């Protein structure tokens, strides 16, 4: 920890020398060497990705809070001032700008203390839990077909990018450890951090973490065969929201699809504007959504309750349990035993339970996969409750209307 503190101190001094500052405009002239502390503080966010910057004071909308001079940025433009690197890159026009930047980053890492950015480079995380770094076991643990496909695509894309850039890295005579796929995953995960509003799966893909309560989270729903002919909405707008409510587009599409074909033209404008067509129509919609959610939950290999218990077991394993606890957990069988088998931990690890580094990283990614599917299933479960409440509401309206008649 003392070494980490010294590295941080060196980094802050380096940053100040480069003109990096968070001073407000009115204080910039009086304290030009200040780096952080006026507007921002380095903080830990254990539930949202780890170390980051927190506000040190009340910030006003549109107010500059951090200044970084362009020469301080590690970009392909700045790194390619190295003539040898520039010539080698120029011969490979098929490489994307992202691939080039990843190679440049690895080249700088290879320079060690000789790199001008060394104080910054040693502050970067050593590993990431992005989807491209998931093992087949971790990918299968997601359970949902769309999530598995997204993860497999991320791994395939990363492998393809690495293989294309490998010849350039070898020509630059990078150290053997920097030529590995693992190093490539690290480099590409470090330039590929993008800001925006993300679902938890997208957060895993880009950042390697997810949020317990993510307002942008959603569970996508596929319409039944034949429903697509009446649906003008794009597929990515058909989902259940984080709070369990169907999206505007999903409700609109379903209200029209359960309407008799001969009536659709007459009520189409109402459905597209988000209007409820009738109590009977809304009950049909809620029954369809509820059944869809139930079917999706029943297709899963594990239930919400089982995932909750599994997460508790994983957390116990991460917190150095006594051997008896490990034996008891393994006696339950299932996914926990599969993890031990895949990571070669069936025997020796139980007596003392000292996880090797590779298994610790694998367990952390497995935990993220279980957390993701748990939250996905919870959205579906909340939607079933929402649909049930809405059905009760509209059913009572029907009964009330019949009584008045």
What is d(CA 279, CA 271) in angstroms, rounded to the nearest whole number? Answer: 13
In a domain, 211, yes or no: no
Do residue 270 and residue 369 come from a single domain?
Answer: yes
Ramachandran angles phi, psi of 11, nearest 5°: -65, -45
Do residue 151 and residue 22 come from a single domain?
Answer: no
Q: How deeply is 320 buried, as exposed, middle or buried, from its count of CB atoms within 10 A (0-12, 13-18, 19+)?
A: exposed
**CATH number of the structural domain spanning residue 144:** 3.90.1410.10
pLDDT digit string, tens, across residues 247-279? 999 999 999 988 888 888 888 888 888 888 998
Half-sphere exposure (Cβ direction) of 46: Cα atoms closer than 13 Å: 0
Would you say 235 and 373 are in contact if contact means Cβ atoms under 8 Å apart?
Answer: no
Ramachandran angles phi, psi of 28, nearest 5°: -60, -40
Q: How many domains does the chain have?
A: 3
Do residue 176 and residue 245 come from a single domain?
Answer: no
Q: Three-state SS across 63-120?
A: CCCCECCHHHCCCHHHHCCCHHHHHHHHCCCCCCHHHHHHHHHHHHHHCHHHCCCHHH
Q: What share of the chain is helix, strand, coil (3-state, %, to 5)?
A: 60, 5, 35
Please say which residue of 151, 183, 206 terminates a domain: 206
Residue 369: its pLDDT value, please?
A: 96
Residue 201: its pLDDT value, please?
A: 93
Nearest partner of 255 among 233, 396, 379, 395, judged by Cα: 233
Do residue 240 and residue 376 come from a single domain?
Answer: yes
Tokens of 288: 């369809």
In a domain, 332, yes or no: yes
DSSP state letter for 35: -
In a domain, 105, yes or no: yes
Nearest partner of 112 among 174, 22, 201, 158, judged by Cα: 174
* CA torsion angle 273 277 283 285 (round to 10): -40
**CATH number of the structural domain spanning residue 318:** 3.90.1420.10
Do residue 371 and residue 259 come from a single domain?
Answer: yes
Would you say 123 and 36 are in contact if contact means Cβ atoms under 8 Å apart?
Answer: no
Please say which residue of 43, 71, 99 terminates a domain: 71
Residue 375: its pLDDT value, please?
A: 96
Q: Is the backbone of residue 290 left (phi > 0), alpha (psi -120 to 50) or beta?
A: alpha
Domain span at 47: 2-71
Do residue 80 and residue 63 come from a single domain?
Answer: no
Do residue 82 and residue 67 come from a single domain?
Answer: no
In a domain, 212, yes or no: no
End-to-end CA distance of the chain: give it in Å, rounded: 77
Would you say 155 and 131 are in contact if contact means Cβ atoms under 8 Å apart?
Answer: yes
Would you say 220 and 247 are in contact if contact means Cβ atoms under 8 Å apart?
Answer: no
Residue 404: its pLDDT value, please?
A: 55
In a domain, 55, yes or no: yes
Please say which residue of 71, 88, 109 terminates a domain: 71
Do residue 339 and residue 270 come from a single domain?
Answer: yes
Low-confidence ranges of the chain (pLDDT < 70): 1-3, 25-36, 47-49, 192-195, 228-230, 322-323, 346-354, 398-405
Residue 30: its pLDDT value, please?
A: 52
The pTM of this model reads 0.83
What is d(CA 131, CA 296) in angstroms, rounded to the nearest whole number? Answer: 23
What is d(CA 377, CA 383) in angstroms, rounded to the nearest whole number? Answer: 10
What is d(CA 268, CA 374) in angstroms, rounded to the nearest whole number? Answer: 37
Coil, strand or helix at 299 = helix
pLDDT digit string, tens, across residues 294-319? 999 999 999 999 999 999 888 888 88
Do residue 245 and residue 390 come from a single domain?
Answer: yes
Do residue 260 and residue 386 come from a single domain?
Answer: yes
Ramachandran angles phi, psi of 243, nearest 5°: -90, 5
Tokens of 399: 């009964």
What is d(CA 41, CA 35) in angstroms, rounded to the nearest whole number? Answer: 10
Do residue 123 and residue 237 come from a single domain?
Answer: no
In a domain, 175, yes or no: yes
Nearest-10 crossing angle of helices 323-331, 304-318: 160
Do residue 270 and residue 389 come from a single domain?
Answer: yes
In a domain, 154, yes or no: yes
In a domain, 157, yes or no: yes
Coil, strand or helix at 387 = helix
């Amino acid at each position: 920890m003392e070494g980490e503190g010294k590295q941080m101190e060196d980094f802050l001094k380096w940053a100040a020398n480069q003109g990096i500052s968070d001073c407000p405009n009115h204080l910039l002239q009086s304290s030009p060497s200040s780096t952080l502390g006026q507007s921002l503080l380095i903080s830990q966010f254990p539930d949202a990705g780890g170390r980051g910057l927190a506000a040190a004071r009340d910030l006003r909308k549109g107010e500059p809070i951090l200044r970084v001079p362009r020469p301080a940025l590690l970009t392909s433009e700045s790194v390619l001032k190295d003539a040898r690197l520039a010539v080698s890159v120029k011969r490979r026009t098929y490489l994307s700008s992202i691939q080039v930047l990843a190679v440049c980053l690895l080249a700088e890492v290879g320079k060690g203390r000789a790199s001008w950015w060394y104080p910054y480079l040693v502050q970067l995380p050593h590993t990431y839990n992005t989807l491209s770094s998931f093992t087949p076991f971790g990918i299968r643990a997601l359970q949902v077909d769309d999530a598995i496909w997204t993860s497999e695509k991320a791994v395939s894309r990363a492998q393809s990018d690495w293989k294309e850039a490998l010849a350039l890295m070898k020509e630059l005579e990078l150290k053997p450890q920097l030529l590995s796929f693992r190093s490539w995953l690290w480099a590409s995960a470090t330039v590929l951090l993008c800001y925006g509003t993300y679902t938890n799966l997208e957060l895993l893909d880009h950042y390697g973490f997810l949020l317990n309560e993510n307002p942008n989270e959603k569970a996508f729903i596929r319409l039944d065969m034949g429903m697509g002919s009446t649906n003008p909405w794009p597929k990515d707008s058909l989902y259940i929201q984080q709070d369990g409510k169907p999206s505007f587009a999903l409700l609109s599409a379903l209200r029209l699809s359960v309407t008799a074909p001969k009536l659709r033209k007459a009520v189409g404008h109402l459905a597209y504007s988000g209007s409820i067509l009738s109590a009977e129509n809304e009950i049909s919609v809620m029954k369809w959504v509820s059944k869809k959610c139930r079917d999706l939950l029943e297709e899963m290999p594990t239930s919400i309750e089982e995932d909750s218990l599994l997460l508790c077991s994983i957390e116990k394993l991460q917190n150095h349990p006594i051997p008896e606890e490990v034996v008891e957990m393994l006696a339950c069988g299932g996914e926990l035993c599969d993890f031990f088998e895949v990571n070669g931990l069936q025997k020796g690890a139980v007596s003392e339970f000292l996880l090797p580094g590779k298994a610790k990283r694998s367990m952390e990614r497995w935990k993220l996969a279980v957390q993701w599917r748990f939250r996905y299933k919870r959205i579906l479960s909340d939607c079933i409750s929402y649909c049930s409440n809405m059905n009760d509401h509209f059913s009572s309206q029907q009964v009330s209307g019949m009584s008045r008649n």
